[in-house]
Protein backbone atom coordinates (compact mmCIF):
# COMPACT_ATOMS: atom_id res chain seq x y z
CA UNK A 1 0.00 0.00 0.00
CA UNK A 2 1.46 3.35 -1.00
CA UNK A 3 1.45 6.28 1.37
CA UNK A 4 -0.86 9.11 0.30
CA UNK A 5 0.81 12.43 0.88
CA UNK A 6 -0.63 15.91 0.95
CA UNK A 7 0.62 16.82 -2.52
CA UNK A 8 -0.47 13.55 -4.11
CA UNK A 9 -4.17 14.29 -3.61
CA UNK A 10 -5.85 14.21 -7.06
CA UNK A 11 -7.41 17.68 -6.68
CA UNK A 12 -4.09 19.39 -5.87
CA UNK A 13 -2.33 19.54 -9.23
CA UNK A 14 1.05 21.25 -9.32
CA UNK A 15 1.45 21.58 -5.53
CA UNK A 16 4.29 19.08 -5.18
CA UNK A 17 6.65 21.84 -4.10
CA UNK A 18 4.33 22.69 -1.21
CA UNK A 19 5.05 19.40 0.51
CA UNK A 20 8.80 19.95 0.21
CA UNK A 21 8.28 23.45 1.57
CA UNK A 22 6.41 22.12 4.63
CA UNK A 23 9.17 19.58 5.31
CA UNK A 24 11.88 22.24 4.98
CA UNK A 25 9.99 24.56 7.31
CA UNK A 26 9.60 21.86 9.95
CA UNK A 27 13.37 21.27 9.98
CA UNK A 28 14.48 24.91 10.21
CA UNK A 29 15.13 26.72 13.47
CA UNK A 30 13.68 24.29 15.99
CA UNK A 31 15.93 25.38 18.89
CA UNK A 32 13.81 28.39 19.91
CA UNK A 33 16.61 30.97 19.86
CA UNK A 34 16.12 33.81 19.38
CA UNK A 35 12.48 34.09 20.38
CA UNK A 36 10.23 35.82 17.87
CA UNK A 37 6.74 37.16 17.24
CA UNK A 38 4.78 37.24 14.01
CA UNK A 39 1.99 39.79 13.85
CA UNK A 40 -0.40 41.03 11.22
CA UNK A 41 -0.08 44.79 10.95
CA UNK A 42 -2.60 45.33 8.17
CA UNK A 43 -4.88 43.45 5.78
CA UNK A 44 -1.87 42.26 3.76
CA UNK A 45 1.03 43.39 5.95
CA UNK A 46 2.99 41.39 8.52
CA UNK A 47 5.89 41.92 10.91
CA UNK A 48 8.39 39.41 12.24
CA UNK A 49 10.07 40.60 15.43
CA UNK A 50 13.12 38.81 16.86
CA UNK A 51 14.56 39.46 20.32
CA UNK A 52 18.25 40.06 19.56
CA UNK A 53 19.49 41.92 22.64
CA UNK A 54 23.24 42.48 22.51
CA UNK A 55 23.47 42.33 18.72
CA UNK A 56 24.29 45.41 16.65
CA UNK A 57 23.33 46.06 13.04
CA UNK A 58 26.80 44.84 12.01
CA UNK A 59 26.25 41.53 13.83
CA UNK A 60 23.03 40.75 11.94
CA UNK A 61 22.23 39.86 8.35
CA UNK A 62 18.84 39.49 6.70
CA UNK A 63 18.74 37.75 3.32
CA UNK A 64 16.11 36.39 1.00
CA UNK A 65 17.21 33.06 -0.51
CA UNK A 66 14.66 31.69 -2.99
CA UNK A 67 11.45 32.07 -1.03
CA UNK A 68 13.17 31.74 2.34
CA UNK A 69 13.86 34.69 4.64
CA UNK A 70 17.06 33.95 6.58
CA UNK A 71 18.18 35.98 9.59
CA UNK A 72 21.69 35.32 10.89
CA UNK A 73 23.38 36.74 13.95
CA UNK A 74 26.99 36.50 15.02
CA UNK A 75 28.54 38.63 17.73
CA UNK A 76 32.18 39.48 17.41
CA UNK A 77 34.38 38.35 20.31
CA UNK A 78 37.15 40.88 19.64
CA UNK A 79 37.42 42.18 23.18
CA UNK A 80 36.38 38.96 24.97
CA UNK A 81 40.01 37.91 25.38
CA UNK A 82 40.82 41.14 27.25
CA UNK A 83 37.84 40.84 29.60
CA UNK A 84 37.87 38.83 32.82
CA UNK A 85 34.46 37.43 33.73
CA UNK A 86 33.70 36.49 37.33
CA UNK A 87 30.37 35.11 36.10
CA UNK A 88 29.26 34.79 32.50
CA UNK A 89 25.51 34.26 32.26
CA UNK A 90 24.91 36.13 29.01
CA UNK A 91 25.84 33.89 26.15
CA UNK A 92 27.18 35.44 22.97
CA UNK A 93 26.21 32.86 20.44
CA UNK A 94 25.41 32.83 16.79
CA UNK A 95 22.03 31.93 15.38
CA UNK A 96 20.17 31.37 12.17
CA UNK A 97 16.40 31.65 11.94
CA UNK A 98 14.52 30.90 8.70
CA UNK A 99 11.00 31.71 7.55
CA UNK A 100 9.49 30.40 4.33
CA UNK A 101 7.55 33.12 2.52
CA UNK A 102 4.59 32.50 0.25
CA UNK A 103 4.62 33.61 -3.35
CA UNK A 104 3.90 37.32 -3.56
CA UNK A 105 5.35 38.17 -0.13
CA UNK A 106 7.77 41.10 -0.28
CA UNK A 107 10.26 42.17 2.39
CA UNK A 108 9.56 45.89 2.84
CA UNK A 109 12.34 46.63 5.32
CA UNK A 110 14.14 45.78 8.54
CA UNK A 111 15.15 47.87 11.52
CA UNK A 112 16.82 47.27 14.88
CA UNK A 113 15.20 49.06 17.78
CA UNK A 114 15.87 48.55 21.53
CA UNK A 115 17.14 44.99 21.09
CA UNK A 116 14.32 43.97 18.74
CA UNK A 117 14.81 43.30 15.04
CA UNK A 118 11.63 44.15 13.13
CA UNK A 119 11.20 42.80 9.59
CA UNK A 120 8.19 44.13 7.72
CA UNK A 121 6.53 42.07 5.00
CA UNK A 122 3.75 42.83 2.58
CA UNK A 123 1.72 40.59 0.31
CA UNK A 124 1.03 41.99 -3.13
CA UNK A 125 -2.64 41.56 -3.98
CA UNK A 126 -2.86 39.50 -7.15
CA UNK A 127 -5.30 40.51 -9.83
CA UNK A 128 -8.13 38.08 -10.38
CA UNK A 129 -7.74 36.58 -13.82
CA UNK A 130 -10.64 34.86 -15.51
CA UNK A 131 -9.89 33.28 -18.85
CA UNK A 132 -12.40 31.51 -21.03
CA UNK A 133 -11.17 28.26 -22.53
CA UNK A 134 -12.66 27.46 -25.91
CA UNK A 135 -13.90 23.92 -26.42
CA UNK A 136 -12.88 22.47 -29.79
CA UNK A 137 -15.42 20.52 -31.78
CA UNK A 138 -14.65 16.85 -32.05
CA UNK A 139 -14.60 15.06 -35.34
CA UNK A 140 -17.37 12.72 -35.85
**Per-residue confidence band for 113, with pLDDT thresholds at 50, 70 and 90:** very high
- Residue 39, classed as helix, strand or coil, is strand
CB neighbours of 59 closer than 8 A, spacing ≥ 6? 73, 74, 75, 76
Residue 129 belongs to some domain of the structure: no
- Predicted confidence at residue 116, as pLDDT, reads 97
Q: Which domain holds residue 26?
A: 1-30
Phi, psi of 67 (to 5 degrees): -105, 30
Quick one: what percent of the chain has pLDDT higher than 90?
47
Q: Do residues 80 and 115 share a domain?
A: yes
- Predicted confidence at residue 85, as pLDDT, reads 82
User: What is the C-alpha separation between 47 and 49, in angstroms, rounded?
Assistant: 6
- Predicted confidence at residue 79, as pLDDT, reads 65
- Predicted confidence at residue 35, as pLDDT, reads 92
Q: Do residues 26 and 59 share a domain?
A: no
Q: Do residues 112 and 46 share a domain?
A: yes
Is the model's pLDDT at 27 over the cut of 80? no
pLDDT one-digit tens code per residue, 46-101: 999 999 988 999 999 999 988 899 999 998 766 667 888 888 787 678 899 999 89
Domain count, the chain: 2
- Predicted confidence at residue 96, as pLDDT, reads 93
- Predicted confidence at residue 90, as pLDDT, reads 74
- Predicted confidence at residue 103, as pLDDT, reads 85
Inter-residue contact 36 to 48 (CB < 8 Å): yes
pLDDT one-digit tens code per residue, 1-18: 556 665 666 666 666 666
Q: Do residues 66 and 98 share a domain?
A: yes
Is the model's pLDDT at 25 over the cut of 80? no
109-137 average pLDDT score: 92
Amino acid sequence: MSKMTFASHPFLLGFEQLERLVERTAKSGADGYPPFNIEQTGPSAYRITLAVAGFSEDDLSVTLEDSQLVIRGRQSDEDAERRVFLHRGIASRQFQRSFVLADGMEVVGARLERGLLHIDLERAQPETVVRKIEIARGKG
